[in-house]
Amino acid sequence: MRMYDLIMKKRNGFALSGDEINYMVKGYTDGTIPDYQMSAMMMAIYFKGMDEKETLALTMAMEKSGDELDLSRIKGIKVDKHSTGGVGDKTSLALAPMAAAAGIPVAKMSGRGLGHTGGTIDKLESFPGFSTDISTEKFVENVNRIGIAIMGQTASLAPADKKLYALRDVTATVDNMSLIASSIMSKKLAAGADAIVLDVKTGSGAFMKREEDAFALAREMVKIGNGAGRKTSAIVSDMDQPLGFAIGNALEVEEAINTLKGNGPDDFLELCLTLGSRMLIAGGRADGEKEARQMLLQTIEEGTALKKLAEFVEAQGGDASAVYDTSLLPRASLQRSLYARTEGFVSHIACDEVGICSLLLGGGRETKESRIDLSVGIVLQKKVGDYVKENECLAVLYANDADKLSAAENRLQKAFQIGQEKLEKKPFIKGIIT
Catalytic residues: 82, 161, 168, 183, 187
Distance CA 46, CA 168 (A): 10
Closest to 236 (Cα-Cα) out of 270, 199, 210: 199
Dihedral of the CA atoms 349, 369, 201, 196 (nearest 10)? Answer: -150
Quick one: DSSP state of residue 160? Answer: H
Q: Which is nearer to ligand URA, 164 or 250 (CB)?
A: 164
Contact residues for 409 (Cβ-Cβ < 8 A; gap 6+): 336, 338, 397
183 binds ligand URA (CB under 6 A): yes
Strand partners, 345: 387, 419
Residue 246 has φ and ψ, to the nearest 5°, of -95, 140
State the nearest-atom distance from the C-beta of 370 to ligand URA, in Å: 19
User: Contact region for ligand URA (CB under 6 A) — 74-82, 175-183, 245-253, 329-337?
Assistant: 175-183
Q: Which is nearer to ligand URA, 198 or 338 (CB)?
A: 198
Closest to 188 (Cα-Cα) out of 217, 228, 148: 228
Q: Which is nearer to ligand URA, 151 or 280 (CB)?
A: 151
Q: What is the DSSP string of 322-346?
A: HHH-GGGS---SEEEEEE-SS-EEE
189 binds ligand URA (CB under 6 A): no
55 binds ligand URA (CB under 6 A): no
Q: Which is nearer to ligand URA, 217 or 315 (CB)?
A: 217
Q: Which is nearer to ligand URA, 151 or 158 (CB)?
A: 158
174 binds ligand URA (CB under 6 A): yes
Per-residue binding string, ligand URA, 126-165, x by CB under 6 A, is ---------------------------------------x
Residue 392 burial (10 A CB sphere; 0-12, 13-18, 19+): middle
User: Contact region for ligand URA (CB under 6 A) — 4-12, 148-156, 179-187, 320-328?
Assistant: 179-187
User: Contact region for ligand URA (CB under 6 A) — 151-159, 173-181, 329-337, 341-349?
Assistant: 173-181
- Interacting residues toward ligand URA by CB under 6 A: 165, 174, 179-180, 183-184
